[in-house]
Amino acid sequence: MDSTNQITPPARIGINRLASNTGVFQPGSILTIRILELNGNRALIDFGAGRTMADIKIPARVGEELLVKVQQSATQPNLELISSNPKTPPGDNTVVLQTPTFDLEARSIIQSDLKQLLVQLLAPDKITGLTGNLRRAMELLNAYFKSIDPEKPTTEIPSRLMAYAINSGVFFEKMLETAIQHIRHAPDSSVPGHLGRHPEVQTILNRDLKAILYMLKNVVNDDPSFQRALDSGSSGILRRSIELLLGDIARQQGRAVRLADSTEPFQMFSFCLPLSQGRQPAKLKLYYPRKQKTGAKQGFQISLLLSMDHLGDIRTDLYLLERDLSVTFFVKTEMARLKIQHYQTDLQHLLSPFFDQTVLRVVISEKKIDDFEREDIWIANDRRVDLRI
């Protein structure tokens, strides 16, 4: 397709009425579609439950897979593009993945839609229709996605961030292993006949996203009352969200395994943080240092991307080595740079009691902000990422 007709997300794909009658294209549903044939702006697509012709107004290739969300228009449903197969960095051959890349932007959309659905289903006028297991699983999931208020005291925010990251599902098996080893080796503990009933294990099962999603998935698949409690649109959104989030956790875990012997000094995990008061979710990446045989200290690195009302997108990279902290703010405009620099001295004074040395910088770099997503994709494809400024 002509690249000059490129439409940036949200891009829309029109579906004919025959396909919409299959029940797959419920408003709010999230689908994976594959482009089978292209003829100008018309495409033959496979949507899992069948095939149909579609009017497509985005650059696409035969064989490409797209992650889309169903939107209802006045006459027929439209598909809003969430994510598509990425292209490799310039100079490399294009790599077509078997499944669409589930990047941070896609994860943000899925979490936001799921959060809205949970709020509706757990409302006082709806919650009485939910069975005990279904209600409990939804309440646990809603608690995990509880919004973080940036205006709360600074002492509360780090603990919320830590809990959100630790319970994100990517460390689930490791936490269970640690808990079971602790229980078995505790000299004064009485281990119950079933380890799953132990309070330490129960705490993990009630807080970890992966455990909660599997709990909810089992209810959705096995509990007959599920269909009575939820309409077809809500149940479709819930089922698809569960599968996508579990798939994303599995991908992050799989990447960690594949890169276990990598020479890279860090192991990266990414998260979308739900923020309060209608704010866009923050995007967070934690770079955990690998264990070095030589005993070299690699430090810790965090990258945070925020969309601010007045300052625009701001990327903050923090690097901690022992008690030395380096903070770099990347902004897109001179106005944003001057605004942050105005408070730089105050921020330095706030941080200095906690660190031996603090270095703060503000850099105008639209590329570093735009690369926040691309770095995730390149790492997923086992490519080296330059994290230097």
Give yes or no for a contact between 212 and 238, defined as CB atoms under 8 angstroms apart. no
pLDDT at site 18: 42
Residue 292 lies in a domain: no
Burial per residue of 20-55, b for 16 or more beta-carbon CB atoms within 10 angstroms, e otherwise: beeebbbebbbbbbbbeebeebebebebeeeebbbe
Residue 278 lies in a domain: no
Residue 228 lies in a domain: yes
pLDDT at site 7: 26
Model confidence at 169: pLDDT above 90: yes
Last residue of a domain, one of 46, 67, 94: 94
User: Both 202 and 250 in a single domain?
Assistant: yes
Residue 358: phi, psi to the nearest 5? Answer: -130, 135
Residue 222 lies in a domain: yes
pLDDT band at residue 173 under the 50/70/90 scheme: very high
Ranking 11-15, 137-141, 164-168 by mean pLDDT, the lowest is: 11-15
Domain housing 373: 299-380
* Amino acid found at 130: L
Residue 274 lies in a domain: no
User: Both 222 and 177 in a single domain?
Assistant: yes
Residue 47: both structure tokens together:
């949507």
Which is more confidently placed, 305 or 67? Answer: 305
The CATH number of whichever domain residue 339 belongs to comes to 3.30.750.140
User: Both 133 and 252 in a single domain?
Assistant: yes
Model confidence at 336: pLDDT above 90: yes
The DSSP secondary-structure symbol of 335 reads H
User: Both 218 and 139 in a single domain?
Assistant: yes
Residue 115 lies in a domain: yes
Q: What percent of the chain has pLDDT over 70?
A: 74
User: Both 64 and 170 in a single domain?
Assistant: no
Average pLDDT, the chain: 76
Residue 279 lies in a domain: no
Structural Rg of the chain based on CA atoms? 23
Range from 11-25, 111-125, 314-328 that averages highest in pLDDT:
314-328
Q: What pLDDT, in 10s, does the model give residues 299-327? A: 788 999 988 888 899 999 999 988 899 99
Which is more confidently placed, 379 or 280? Answer: 280
Rounded mean pLDDT, 226-249:
81
Residue 267 lies in a domain: no
Give how many domains the chain has, as a whole number.
3
* Amino acid found at 200: E
Rounded mean pLDDT, 255-277:
80
User: Both 74 and 23 in a single domain?
Assistant: yes
Q: What pLDDT, in 10s, does the model give residues 355-374? A: 999 999 999 999 999 888 76
Rounded mean pLDDT, 218-242:
78
Residue 64: both structure tokens together:
């490409």
Q: How many CA atoms lie within 13 A of 261 on its CB side?
A: 0
User: Both 135 and 240 in a single domain?
Assistant: yes
Rounded mean pLDDT, 67-91:
62
